[in-house]
Structure 1
Amino acid sequence: MNTAVRRLGSRLAMALWLFAVWLMLWGRATALLAVGGVIVVALVYVVSRLPVVPTVRRVRPLWFAAALLEFAWDLLVSSLVIGWHALHRPRQVRGAIVEVEARTRSELILLAVTTSISLRPGTLLVDPDWDRHVLRIHAMPVRSRQEADAARNGVLRTEYRLMRALMTSEDMSEQDGSTGEDR
């Protein structure tokens, strides 16, 4: 599929999403609200130059299921660690800002990674640098360089799981130009 068709499909999907949000905000669907929604969506596109939403080219169901299970495991473990520290040593818990350089060039994968790490207790996205593909996260407990490296590696593992499960246009084009090695 060529780029123009993908771009048009992406914009139509975003327009449908905005239209659905418009109707949900009103809480009902009438002909007048539908016409008004179409006008509002058209104006939003004309005024704001919305970006093209990255698309997923291929979903690998088994890898996706594995990513969900690993996320559930990470959620359980991080909840237990944060709970233990909150109950036993609440004043001794230290955190750190950890910078993680992402391997993916897909904004969709980066968004999924940032959402995933922000849902886990003990990690929170502080500052995404979308242009350089760098994420700054607050992680806790972090008392040493090794624990900071462990937090960074946890984010990179999450990214790898999502890259394995969801193939995006950006990552596929980069993979086509590479030596074929698994990153």
Structure 2
Amino acid sequence: MSRSSDAIRVATQRPGRFPHASLGTLLWCTVVWVMLWGEVTPGNIISGFVLALAITSLAPFPAMRFDGRFRPRALVILATHFLYDLVVSSTQQAFFIIRRKKPRAAIIRVQLRSESDMYLTMTAGMSAVVPGTVPVEADAATGTLYIHVFDIGLAGGVSAAHAAILDLEERILRTFASRDELIRAGLVPGPTKKSGLLPMPFAPVYEPEEED
């Protein structure tokens, strides 16, 4: 084998590496694990990180192209809203159960603004952690989430539940999406919701639909 062909082989070969996932992915999975347990302890953190290593090694995530950017101010807003929703929803659920009311559940269909599988996954994952909403199906081809709502009255109605998912997606996009991705999603580039939406036809209005 010539030196040139050997150099090409070395340059194009993709050696196996450990861990298979990036540090950011491992930390994100660890955070989700700790949130699911509801208690920040050394044991939960270590077990979550080890589990993230095992899952991403045995079943590596498919490669996704990421052209976005990181905005610290938007991340603070995303984290603050998420913790607020977590506390409020947990409190509402607790009082609802104590009063022994019968929940009026519903499954709503939410057409997300973004075309990226990554943002769809993040939206579904964060909505699953907040009590009262559980994603039951995701259609990556159309960017659609089907969300089970524990009690539609507690959520403020179908429109409010629908808007809450879109608001969560918007905060995620404003934290991580590139300028072009924000524009394609119908959002005026900026770290906060105050930046606004683009006028039609860039920002299609999705009507909430309640599934039988």
TM range (shorter): 0.5 to 0.7
Q: Which residue pairs with 2:20 in the alignment?
A: 18
- The corresponding residue for 1:151 is 161
The alpha-carbon deviation at position 53 of structure 1 amounts to 1.5
- Once residues 85 and 114 of structure 2 are traced to their aligned partners in structure 1, the CA distance between those partners, rounded to angstroms, is 21
Pairwise CA distance, 1:19: 7.3
Determine the structure 2 residue equivalent to 1:96: 106
Residues 19 and 71 of structure 1, relative CA distance in 2, 3 Å threshold: closer
The 1:179/1:96 distance shift into structure 2, 3 A limit, reads closer
Give the percent of matched residue pairs that are identical in Structure 1 and Structure 2.
Answer: 23
Q: Could you tell me which of 26, 31, 54 is aligned with 2:65?
A: 54
CA RMSD of aligned residues (A): 3.7
- Distance in 1 (CA, whole Å) between partners of 2:188 and 2:148 is 35
TM-score, with structure 2 as normaliser: 0.58
Aligned pair in 2 of structure 1 residues 155, 169: CA closer, same or farther (>3 Å)?
Answer: same
Following the alignment from structure 1 to structure 2, what is the Cα–Cα distance between the partners of residues 69 and 133? 26
Matches within 5 A, 1:70-109: 70-90=81-101, 92-109=102-119
Runs of 4+ in 1 over 2 A off after TM superposition: 14-21, 143-146, 172-175, 177-183
Which has the larger share of helix?
1
Correspondence 1:166-177 to 2 at 5 A = 166-168=176-178, 171=181, 174=184
State the 1:150 CA deviation: 1.0
Aligned CA distance change for structure 1 residues 110 and 168 (closer, same or farther; 3 Å): farther
The residue number in structure 1 matching 2:127 is 117
Structure 1: runs of 5+ lacking an equivalent: 1-11, 28-39
**Is the 8 Å Cα contact of residues 69 and 177 (structure 2) preserved in structure 1?**
yes
CA deviation profile, 1:87-139 (whole Å, cap 9, x unmatched): 1034x111100100000111111111001100010100001011011100001
Contact 1:125 1:136 in 2 (8 A): yes
1:32 corresponds to: none
Q: 1:81 to 1:62 in 2, by over 3 A?
A: same
Which consecutive unaligned segments of at least 5 residues does structure 2 have?
1-13, 27-49, 190-196, 204-212
